[in-house]
Amino acid sequence: MAFFLQKSSLANHFRSSYQKTEGSLAAPTRALHVEPGARERALLAEDPSLKRFKSYKKSVWRLKRIADVLTVVVVAGCCYEIYVKAVMREEARNQAKAAGGSE
């Protein structure tokens, strides 16, 4: 694991970014919080004309939930079919053994 950390470019990137900020008096990457101005508040305010387009979120959530349930049902059905085939094959083997051994 240590070998991969030494050789990976991701580790080198983290190491180099740490060395840059450690030795220098670099400004922090996050700026100080500033209250939004009038324009920003107007852009962030809720627009009543766009309200009708936001209604799709609930239907998308419902559709995802239905898809998840259907996926679970299909996977369970496949597992059940595999189980039934395995049990039937085992019973056929046992019957073949019983029929072959009794003769």
Q: Is residue 94 included in any domain, yes or no?
A: yes
Structural domains counted in the chain: 1
Which tens digits make up the pLDDT trace of 58-69? 888 899 999 999
Q: Is residue 60 included in any domain, yes or no?
A: no
Q: Is residue 85 included in any domain, yes or no?
A: yes
The pTM for the full model equals 0.44
Structural domain boundaries enclosing 82: 72-102
Q: Is residue 1 included in any domain, yes or no?
A: no
Q: Is residue 86 included in any domain, yes or no?
A: yes
Q: Is residue 43 included in any domain, yes or no?
A: no
Q: Is residue 36 included in any domain, yes or no?
A: no
Amino acid letter for position 7? K
Which tens digits make up the pLDDT trace of 18-30? 555 544 555 556 6
Non-local (6+) Cβ contacts of 20 within 8 A are 26
CA 31 to chain centroid, in Å, comes to 31
